[in-house]
Amino acid sequence: MFKGVSYLLIGWVLMKVEKSQSGRPYTGRSSAEKPSSGGRRPAGKPQFERQSERAPRSSGKPTEGSQDREEYVWVLDYLPYGKSVDGKSAYQKKPLVQAIGDKKFTLMELVPKNGVIPDIQSRVYIGPGDRNEIDHVKQRIGYSDLTTGANLELPFILEAVVRHKEERFVKFFNDAHSITTRLHMLELLPGIGKKLMWSIIDERKKGDFKSFQDIRERIPSLHDPAKVISHRIEEELKDDFIKYRLFTTPPRRQKPE
C-alpha cells in the first residue's frame, strides 16, 4: 500500500515540474550554477579582441614619427646634370643633391625644386610639410656612391654637424657604457685606449661634462672631442660591415637581381 502511495506522489511531482517549465525557453545556467573561473580570463578571446590585436598591419615603411627619420640634411654636393653614369642625354637629366642627415647620418640623394641650387655645406629641411629647397628624397646611398666633391666635403661637414649638435655628443661622453666585459663604448672612439677611457670615467664621476670645452679642460689629453666623434662617424660610414655602430644606421643591403 505504501509503495503505491509513493508512486502516486512521484508522478504528481513530475507533472507539476513539467507544467511549470512548459513554454519557457532555456536560459542557461544561473550565475549561482556557473562554475567559477577563479579570477582567470576564460579560454579563447572574443573575435573583436583578436582582430584588434592583429590590426593595423605594418607596411614595413617608416612612419612620420619614426625616430630614425631624417628631417634636416647637410648638402655635400650639387650635381646640375645628375649622375654621369645614368646613360641619359644631358637635356633629360635632372639636378641632384648629395647630402647627409644630421640625426643618423644617413647618406642620400635628393631632387631640388626647380630653379633652386642649395649651397654646399648648408643645412636644409626635408621633413614633412613645406620645403624651401628640396622637392623630394630620391634614394638612400652608400659611401661608395659619393662624388669626389662630396668625399672631400664629408669630413668638414661631419665636424660641423657634431659641433652643431654639441649637447647630444657631450651626453654621449656622460652616458657611454660597457658593450662587453672587455670593451667599452669610449674605446671605439679613435685615439681612446684603456688609460684615457678610465680618465674620462673617473672624471665624469665628479660631475657630468657640460660642453666640449669642459671636456677639454678636465681631460687635457683629449684635445678635440668633436673631431674624435666625427672621425668615428666617418669610419662607420666607410665600413658597411663594421661590428659596432655608435652613431649611424646600417646600410640597406642591395636585393639580388
Q: Where are the domains of the chain?
A: 72-146, 165-238
Express as a percent the part of the chain with pLDDT over 90. Answer: 65
pLDDT confidence of residue 11: 57
pLDDT, one tens digit per residue, over 132-177 is 999 999 999 999 999 999 999 999 999 999 999 999 999 999 999 9
**DSSP state string for 81-129:** T--TTS---GGG---EEEEEESSS--EEEEEEPTT--PPTT-EEE-SSS
State residue 52's pLDDT score: 31
What span, in angstroms and rounded, lies between the C-alpha atoms of 166 and 60?
33
At the fourth CATH level, the homologous superfamily of domain 72-146 is Nucleic acid-binding proteins (2.40.50.140)
Taking the CB of residue 187, how many other CB atoms lie within 10 A of it? Answer: 16
Least confident of 11-15, 38-42, 44-48, 88-92: 44-48
Residue 99 has pLDDT above 60, yes or no: yes
pTM surpassing 0.85? no
Integer Cα distance of 188 and 208 in angstroms: 20
For the ranges 10-24, 46-60, 196-210, the lowest mean pLDDT is seen at 46-60
Q: Is the pLDDT of residue 12 over 90?
A: no
Decide: residue 172, CB within 10 A, 0-12 exposed, 13-18 middle, 19+ buried: middle
pLDDT, greater one: 43 or 99: 99
Q: Indicate the range of 31-40, 85-94, 104-113, 143-152 predicted with least confidence.
A: 31-40
| Burial class of residue 110 in the structure, from the number of CB atoms within 10 Å of its CB (0-12 exposed, 13-18 middle, 19+ buried) | buried
**Model confidence at 93, in pLDDT bands (50, 70, 90)?**
confident
Q: Quick one: pLDDT at residue 54?
A: 35
Is 109 a residue whose pLDDT tops 90? yes
Q: What is the pLDDT, as a whole number, of residue 84?
A: 72
- Among 3.20.20.70, 3.40.50.300, 3.40.30.10, 1.10.150.280, what is the CATH number of 165-238? 1.10.150.280
Which is more confident, 165 or 1? 165
